[in-house]
Chains A and B, each alone.
Chain A
Amino acid sequence: MAKSPPLRLLWLQSGGCGGCTMSLIGAQGPDLVRSLEIAGVEIAWHPSLSEETGSEAASIINAIAEGREEIDIVCLEGSVMTGPNGTGMFHRMAGSDQSMMSVIEKVARRARYVVAVGSCAAFGGITAAGGNEVGAIGLAYDGKQAGGLLGEDFRSGSGLPVINISGCPIHPDWFTETIMQIGAGAFDERDMDDLQRPLNFAGHLVHHGCSRNEFYEFKASAQKLCDMGCMMENLGCKGTQARADCNIRAWNGSGSCLDGNYPCINCTAPEFEEPGHGFTKTPKISGIPIGLPTDMPKAWFVALASLSKAATPERLNRDATSDRLSALGEGKRRK
């Protein structure tokens, strides 16, 4: 079989922090360059990686925007900046007098696949926090609201809506796997959840595989950041609602937020940036957390919790508020 020509990928950045790119170049097994090769994807232009600068870069972008050059995949990192007053001039494309907003729209409408990389590009993300004076929105969402820059009914050349690889930042594998699926012609609507997020990560809850699951079962809770107990009751952990596989798929070789001893802030979800309470606090009504797992009757949860609390092994009670595990128990360590 003849080898098909590589898929060409254009990557633009707008109202974001570059953290998704930085995370992505940390891809491991295989690294980013190998992953792209395996996926059969060639970079037409990427702001951090390509040689072309200035007018050379602009001519690549313009050729795509004007349809003179075909493009298979357009990725956006960072939110679309619509302000001030809808002009988009909070981000002007350097070297030109166009707003980035208009450039993004033009190239996205030419692409076979449009990928929002990170929660900024997907939903507006952190850039939309604090009253959003800059008018940050996502490609196909404005927070939880479908629409965004491209509109609710947008479909790219392949017939798919925007693929929202959300996360702040993304895990490198979320991107490389999606690209490999696209490259293999094996990515379609069945591979996305209701917010258009690839199931390669959104098919899980952060709670899955959390090393604190045993504490969760017995409602043995952490009190402060550094404790080993479950962080749902007091420290704002949203792992039971957050869709991502952070505790199954290691970050940076072996970590996760939870393993770092701080809570899940649900950064793959729209509007995570405005939780309405302190990120590391659990809002409660008469002592009961209001953000309980959504798919379980509240009364049952409360009843089960008080039962399991009564049955908590002493070891878990102690470790829940300690910064180290004592699974061995006193006196079992070899002296």
Chain B
Amino acid sequence: MTKRIVMGPFNRVEGDLEVRLDSSEGQVISAEVTSPLYRGFEKMLVGKPMMDALVYSPRICGICSVSQSVAAAYALAGLGGRSVPPAGRHAVNLVHAVENLADHFTHFYLFFMPDFARDTYADEPWYQPVAERFAAVKGTAAKDALPARAAWMEMLGILAGKWPHTLSIQPGGSTRAISRSEKVRLGAIIAQFRLYLERTLFGDTLENVAGLFSADALWQWADQRASATSDFAMFLQVSRKLGLSKLGVSHNLHMSFGAYCLQEGHFLKRGAWQNGGPAVLALDRIREDISHAWYRSAGDASGPLNDFPVPDYDTSGDAYSWCKAPRLDGAPVEVGALSRLLVDGHPLLRELAANGANVEARIVARMLELALIVPQMEQWLAAIDTEERFIDHSPLAEDGEAAGLTEAARGSLGHWLRTRNGEIEHYQIIAPTTWNFSPRDAQGNPGPLEQALAGTPIREGEVEPVAVQHVVRSFDPCMVCTVH
């Protein structure tokens, strides 16, 4: 007998989420993922002066506001005419990395780990220390992590004026030149964050963590740290006990638009990954399906530069979400830190996700990005020549079309725009969680989360199945981005 469970409001995700499950014999058979909020940024932007995209689009999302700015700035830059000076490029990469890493950090401490402090687990042998550390708001971790996070965001006071919703990121670089003394101050903030990561999150140097190249090495490392202070090792121990590597498995295609533009390409590569090997990332094969979303089509459905779905709220048909269903050559795609590191080629993640992406691999990937990117930030900062320009103001073409592609913490983010006489004529956004939390498409393919939820165990008598919560939150969803 199948049983229907409706979960919502789903919290500790950014924004609003509802998950409907059909279950039978203690496991999920199929899932429907619903985003119940629509705001309409794509329409809002039409007719605005093109540079104003830099004011509106960050406000799509207060958690990846910089990523939205970066995508908008790249799209505008795609209209041609500007070349970002090296100091500006480093500054933008630093600003972007601060936000992406803050996101991983916040997700781990405030959004994901508190679920292991639930009463459901009270009888588990590992429960007591985990609950004391990670209980929502009341745990010791929140008290440690909030000040560490706030101190980290001071990077953005200096480099970007404020966060969220900075205007400092521009198609030609960064509005804010930094001085020699500010450069040292930024170095001190990074050093302080590194200290927190090394003392409290990992209990080891970032280099040692980034150098864990196999599952054996990871587990050996985790065992050695059993008695030391290491929030990450604590997660790994719980993950092993609960079998999180078998939970939330998806066999999707993964993709990354490439993160952090350097002179010689992206620091984390652009590409796709499927079944243990590289796959084609045909950017011109991206389409948004609306067969199960509350929209009707306008435009010609030939891709985000021409398509323009308009809201049409009608609960009588197949539609069940404000989220559209982006597909790459017809296939659903998973995006995020794990996807980025799979594409980029980190051997540990390739091993952990060899049998499909899973809850454990998604969390490990985020923690690994912290260990990988902070040392890079130190180098980008060192490479800034404070005597140089940070921005190029050459005029942009007022008529044209372009795409701005980047990686937010949660995965691939794209803005597609067309301008005429300096005004926005068309604007489409596909955000990371739009990929991950998409509803079904016309072929009936479920979105990545919908797939990953199938087979999730439900414990006796559970109303809010805790395993479902782990799976959902392992994607670190951001619903305000999703539907924008």
Contacts and interface: CB of A to CB of B under 8 A. Distances in A.
**Interface range on chain B (Cβ under 8 Å from partner):** 35 or more
A181 interface: no
Contacts of A255: 156-158, 160-162
Interface in A48-78: 48-58
Contact of B157 (A89, A91, A254): A254
Contacts of A129: 44, 56
Given A130-B43, A252-B153, A323-B390, A53 B469 contact: yes
A185 interface: no
B135 to A, nearest CB: 7
A18 B47 contact: no
Interface in A125-160: 126-127, 129-131, 133-134, 136
Contact of A253 (B16, B62, B153): B153
B475 interface: no
B36 interface: yes
Contacts of B115: 51
Contacts of B17: 94
Interface stretch (B7-15, B218-226, B436-444): B7-15
B170 interface: yes
B175 A53 contact: no
B150 A31 contact: yes
Interface stretch (A19-27, A106-114, A308-316): A19-27
Given A96-B8, A226-B177, A253-B157, A130 B391 contact: no
Contacts of B155: 252
A258 interface: yes
A53 B10 contact: yes
Interface stretch (A191-199, A202-210, A259-267, A292-300): A259-267
Contact of B111 (A48, A94, A257): A48
A15 B160 contact: no
Interface in B18-43: 18, 34, 36-40, 43
Nearest to B111: A48
Interface string B56-77: 1001111101000000000000
A32 B148 CA distance: 12
A221 interface: no
Contacts of B38: 90-91, 134
Main secondary structure of the interface of A (DSSP, over half): loop
B52 A279 contact: yes
B136 A169 contact: no
Interface in B458-477: 463-464, 469
A318 interface: no
B153 A260 contact: no
Interface stretch (B139-147, B325-333, B343-351, B354-362): B139-147
B46 interface: yes
A130 B40 contact: yes
Contacts of A256: 161-162
A126 B56 contact: yes
A55 B463 contact: yes
Interface in A247-296: 250-263, 265, 267, 273, 277-281
B151 to A, nearest CB: 8
A58 B157 contact: no
Given A130-B43, A130-B45, A169 B62 contact: yes
Given A19-B61, A130-B48, A51 B118 contact: yes
B176 A16 contact: no
Nearest to B162: A251
B149 A48 contact: no
Nearest to A17: B62
Nearest to A27: B150
Given A19-B164, A25-B106, A47 B9 contact: yes
B311 interface: yes
Most A Cβ at <10 Å: residue of B7, B164, B311: B164
B166 interface: yes
Nearest to B173: A226
B241 interface: no
A100 B163 CA distance: 28
Given A33-B142, A129-B44, A258-B161, A91 B37 contact: yes
Given A17-B62, A17-B480, 5 more contacts: A25-B150, A90-B38, A93-B9, A94-B34, A260-B176
8 contacts: A15-B37, A19-B61, A23-B164, A48-B11, A51-B118, A51-B135, A56-B464, A134-B40
Interface of B: 6-12, 14-18, 34, 36-40, 43-49, 51-52, 55-56, 59-63, 65, 106, 110-111, 114-115, 117-118, 135-137, 142-143, 146-147, 149-151, 153-158, 160-168, 170, 175-177, 179, 311, 313, 389-391, 393, 463-464, 469, 478, 480
Interface of A: 13-23, 25-28, 31-34, 43, 47-58, 81, 84, 87, 89-96, 100, 126-127, 129-131, 133-134, 136, 168-169, 224-226, 246, 250-263, 265, 267, 273, 277-281, 323-324
